[in-house]
Amino acid sequence: MASNVLDSVLFRDAFGTPAMRAVFDDHELIRKYVIVEVALAKAQARCGVIPEAAAQEIAQRCNADTLDFDLLRHETEIVGYPILPLVHQISKQAGESGGFVHWGATTQDIMDTAVVLQIRDAFELIEQEIKTLRGTLAGLAKRYRTTPMAGRTHLQQALPVTFGYKAAIWLDMFDRHQERLDQARPRILVGEFAGAAGTLASLGDKGLEVQKALMEELGLGVPVSTWHVARDGFAEAVNLLALMTGSLGKIAYDVMLMASNEFGELYEPFVKGRGASSTMPQKRNPISSELMLACAKGVRQQAGLMLDAMVQDLERATGPWHAEWIAIPESFILSAGALHQANFMLSGLIVDEQAMARNLDMTKGLIVAEAVMMGLAPYIGRQDAHDIVYDACRIVNEKGGRLADVLNAMPNVADRLAPELIERLTDPTNYLGMAPEMVDQVLKSSASRS
């Protein structure tokens, strides 16, 4: 039985996805190790370092699927790393050519390069989810471009916005994340082959040639320098995920707040029984949002661990390298889980426009006090207009009524602004600013990045 949520029968598909778990499961990781070892043999044969016949035999006979995994696990516990036990087994598989397996390599070369291959696969899954999410958010922004609602600052009604404007802000974040992912790939998807202390000394003058040939075999970038202890690439990968899930956490927080009974403006898709309470039949909890927020917090913790793991000693690290083995798989699985939950939730998001309108009107015009102040300011100056409207707002707060009626009853306002103008100024739907145009800008920008 599993002992954590990522592998739990109960929770694994809430916090992750089968596809991302498959990228990082033990069998796939070991398969990647074998892929790198075989590619190394092929590259060395190309460069004349080992016989071509040996490389062919290694490629034909080395097979991750037929390894003795129990023996591999047992020997890994003894050695502390899986590569030496793996080399023992695949050398036997390779028969007479087994002596050429792992030629001139070091454990970290194989492990680091295998992780890069995993990250390459994982980035493909992340990108698919982001593209789906961007399409969903673009649809929400366009559909609700002019749907007015209360904008809130410090959890208080501030000024009117539109729900499309809010969705466009969410979309713009993920347009930038897509751009970051595109820009990060060349920096991160770089293989490692440098030998014991990173100098490729065991291969003489063939070291850099073999390194380049290996990366060509694997379709990875060629390192400019050894990165055994320069871990900024892997740290960037996980911190990029932290940025993405941080944005998902923001969306989740908004949805959870707006789904509260006091707001009632948004609801997650209805699925019978989802979000139900064991004691309160009326409950409809925002489960996907809660999971998105939890995943974001988990990835943030691992991003910090990756930054800490960058501080490595001399030419080969002690414990910091091992910390990456914890952080990288968990970060990708949690990120995939959060994106999957976001796509489910937002694709079926229920938007209650009537509730938005009702909440927008609940302050009886106070939400657009700024509009009245700016309308009055040309006649009496901004500060005096502020003070007058402030007094009017206090009356509404203390005695009730509509802001428009209170203003019409104040001589220093009524003498300057006609009742029809006051009515227009205190209608929140007339004070949306450039929100719809900002939606248009984001949609145009997003389309150009697709």
Predicted pLDDT of residue 281: 44
| Residue after which a domain boundary falls, among 182, 217, 252 | 217
Exposed e or buried b for every residue in 247-264, given b needs 16+ CB within 10 A?
bbbbbbebbbbbbeeebe
Predicted pLDDT of residue 273: 58
If you write DSSP's letter for every residue of 249-291 in order, what string do you get?
Answer: HHHHHHHHHHTSTTT--EEPPP-TTTT--SS-TT----HHHHH
pTM score: 0.91
Q: Which of 102-111, 124-133, 226-235, 264-273 has the highest mean pLDDT?
A: 124-133
pLDDT tens track for 314-331 = 877 777 888 998 999 999
Residue 381 lies in a domain: yes
Average model confidence (pLDDT) for the chain? 91
Q: Which of 35-49, 272-286, 336-350, 427-441 has the lowest mean pLDDT?
A: 272-286
Looking at the structure, tell me whether residues 296 and 389 fall in a common domain.
no
**Residue 252 backbone phi and psi in degrees, to 5:** -60, -40
Predicted pLDDT of residue 356: 94
**Average pLDDT estimate for 13-34:** 93
Q: Does the annotation count 225 as an active-site position? A: no
Residue 406 has pLDDT above 50, yes or no: yes
Q: Which of 91-105, 148-162, 174-188, 316-330 has the lowest mean pLDDT?
A: 316-330
| Domain encompassing residue 259 | 108-192+227-359+434-450
Predicted pLDDT of residue 234: 95
Q: Does the annotation count 260 as an active-site position? A: no
Looking at the structure, tell me whether residues 248 and 327 fall in a common domain.
yes
Q: How many C-beta atoms lie closer than 10 Å to residue 290's C-beta?
A: 17
pLDDT tens track for 182-194 = 999 999 999 999 9
Looking at the structure, tell me whether residues 258 and 307 fall in a common domain.
yes
Q: Looking at residue 266, which CATH number applies to its domain? A: 1.20.200.10
Looking at the structure, tell me whether residues 348 and 245 fall in a common domain.
yes
Looking at the structure, tell me whether residues 45 and 81 fall in a common domain.
yes
Identified catalytic residue from 202, 260, 277, 450 = 277
Residue 33 has pLDDT above 90, yes or no: yes
| Residue after which a domain boundary falls, among 217, 251, 286 | 217
Residue 150 lies in a domain: yes
How many folded domains does the chain comprise? 3
pLDDT tens track for 243-293 = 999 999 999 999 999 999 899 999 988 776 555 444 544 547 888 999 999
Residue 411 lies in a domain: yes
Identified catalytic residue from 154, 225, 278, 448 = 154
Q: Looking at residue 384, which CATH number applies to its domain? A: 1.10.40.30
Helices (H), 80-220: 83-93, 107-143, 163-188, 207-218
**Average pLDDT estimate for 341-363:** 93
